Amino acid sequence: MLNFKQSSNMEPSVRDLIYGSISTKELRFLLPETFPYLLRVLKGEVGLLVLASDFEPGALEEVASSGYGEEGFFYTFLSRGSEVRRSLESERSPFFLSKDQSSGLYKSESAGCLLSGIYSDEKLEGFLLIELSSPPEPWQTILLALLCQNIARSFKSEKKETIGFAPSRETIEERWSRMGKLLFRMSGGGKAALDNYRKLGMLKIRGPRSSGKKTLAKWLHRNESSDRGFLVIGVLPEQGGKLEKSLEEWETMVQGGTLIFEKIQEYSALQQKLLYEYAVAERSRPRLVFLENSEISPKEELVFFRSFLESNFVELPIWSNWPKEDREEMVTLFFEEAREAQGRRDLVLSKQAKIRLVHPEMNRNLEDLRNLIEEGVLHTSGRELLGFSEMINRPQGVSIPEADDLDLRKAVEALERQKILLAYKLFGGNQIRMSKALGISRGSLQYKLKNLGLG
């Protein structure tokens, strides 16, 4: 039985956890230190405590455990959508799962596990699990419930402090606008290019890979035709008749909006001819934006089509040629975007990290820069992002494409990268536990880590 006379001899951290009022940030420091003691008090064989993730809304992450060894353990019956998980989300008091009711306990001699959810305003903020050698006595159930209630109070007090702190839609739109204006300025685009775009209904955006061409094209659409639709077209039909029909269908879909054509350096002479005829025909049509990779020579060149494109174009420079103040602004915009997406509005970018990111010799394009910042935000557990020295020296993965992009392979790779990053954070880089949670073999995980630039 628990001897409360011993409470005066408790470590300060244990007393703070049981009797004190602490924040959720303090919890993450106290729990790993105090959990082994709490497990012994509760007469548990092994156990773990899980709390809501700071990085992904709706996700849970392990913050403390004891008895599992370095490899840890993943309880498959607690996966999202499982019957036990649904019970945990609806049951407001601790409950016991016998060995027959729960498959996959860590210790073969355990009689079952005692589970208690941590709730704040009817929302599951975490849970505590302990494996027991025999069914629980009333005092164990009561003590576990009281401990979880005290932890839940930390979430409730923190929510009171952060009311009204959620980002607004206007903030996101303003950031998009700032990014677009910055890219337009960097491209050398001025009043003349904008006037010609409005007059001709056409603009070519040239630049190296991942220099912001598509982002600039979308900003241009929002700025000039926000009430109409737009399409990003990555591949054209090779047959002339099919291309003509597709142009008619795309025109109907955007209703006077914008058609954005990617990779125009790959177009055949026939495709260029039909696009030219479509662009100069005396009829109402959508505005046209052509994106060209300056690092790749055109596969075929049709003189009058190329001349038409040269009549109104802008060009984005490589990152190392950006002025310092513009690099600083783009780094700030990417950082704000990443911390908001990961629910880390409290996170700040240190001066040293910003200097490192802004340095022109980093030799990154905008996609790599965005990935690097996103990965840094995911890996940072404190309130300040301090550095990128290890990540800067390895290849970057791919960011998640937007909904209008049709590159399925890239989308799958990007989603894998995001989930693997999250698993890395949740399990502290332990590959055995990561592979179990992700549902893949350890060898497959190692291959993906290397292939996605994360190994």
Q: Which pLDDT does position 6 carry in this prediction?
A: 45
Residue 166 lies in a domain: no
Same domain, residue pair 50 and 101: yes
Evaluate whether 290 touches 197 at the Cβ level (below 8 Å): no
Residue 348 lies in a domain: yes
Taking alpha carbons only, the member of 127, 63, 68 closest to residue 92 is 127
List helix spans (H) across 187-226.
Answer: 191-200, 213-225
Distance CA 278, CA 276 (A): 5
Which residue, 317, 341, 359, sits at the end of a domain?
317
pLDDT tens by residue, 157-170: 554 443 333 444 44
**pLDDT exceeding 90 applies to what percent of the chain?**
31
Residue 3 lies in a domain: no
Residue 145 lies in a domain: yes
Taking alpha carbons only, the member of 238, 293, 299, 233 closest to residue 266 is 299
Q: Which pLDDT does position 51 carry in this prediction?
A: 84
pLDDT tens by residue, 360-408: 666 578 888 888 888 788 777 677 887 665 444 444 444 555 555 556 6
pLDDT tens by residue, 80-118: 777 888 888 888 889 999 988 767 888 989 999 999 998
Evaluate whether 367 touches 330 at the Cβ level (below 8 Å): no
- Give residues with Cβ within 8 angstroms of 334, minimum separation 6: 369, 370, 373
Distance CA 330, CA 317 (A): 14
Extract the tokens encoding 187: 């491209």
- Which residues of 234-341 form beta strands (DSSP E)? 258-261, 287-293, 313-315
Same domain, residue pair 365 and 347: yes
Q: Which pLDDT does position 64 carry in this prediction?
A: 85
Residue 2 lies in a domain: no
Q: Which pLDDT does position 442 carry in this prediction?
A: 80
Q: How many domains does the chain have?
A: 4
Confidence band for 13, pLDDT divided at 50, 70 and 90? low
Region of poorest pLDDT, from 29-43, 180-194, 379-393 = 379-393
pTM assigned to the model: 0.57
Distance in Å from the first CA to the final CA of the chain: 48
Distance CA 201, CA 197 (A): 5
Same domain, residue pair 81 and 97: yes
pLDDT tens by residue, 133-156: 999 999 999 989 988 888 887 766
Angle separating helix axes 191-200 and 213-225, nearest 10 degrees: 70
Evaluate whether 204 touches 292 at the Cβ level (below 8 Å): yes
Same domain, residue pair 149 and 255: no
Residue 65 lies in a domain: yes
Same domain, residue pair 220 and 351: no
Which residue, 127, 158, 189, sits at the end of a domain?
158
Same domain, residue pair 113 and 213: no
Domain that holds residue 108: 12-158
Which residue, 317, 345, 363, sits at the end of a domain?
317
Residue 396 lies in a domain: no
Region of poorest pLDDT, from 164-173, 174-183, 227-236, 276-285 = 164-173
CATH assignment at residue 432: 1.10.10
Same domain, residue pair 139 and 245: no
Q: Which pLDDT does position 54 carry in this prediction?
A: 62
H or E element in which residue 112 lies: strand 112-120
CATH assignment at residue 55: 3.30.450.40
Residue 206 β-bridge partners: 292, 315
CATH assignment at residue 365: 1.10.8
Same domain, residue pair 206 and 73: no
Same domain, residue pair 311 and 213: yes
- Which residues of 70-201 form beta strands (DSSP E)? 95-98, 112-120, 123-132
Residue 4 lies in a domain: no
- 17 has a pLDDT exceeding 60: yes
Q: Which residue did the predictor score with more confidence, 351 or 360?
A: 351
Same domain, residue pair 244 and 380: no
- 2 has a pLDDT exceeding 60: no
Same domain, residue pair 294 and 329: no
Same domain, residue pair 142 and 263: no
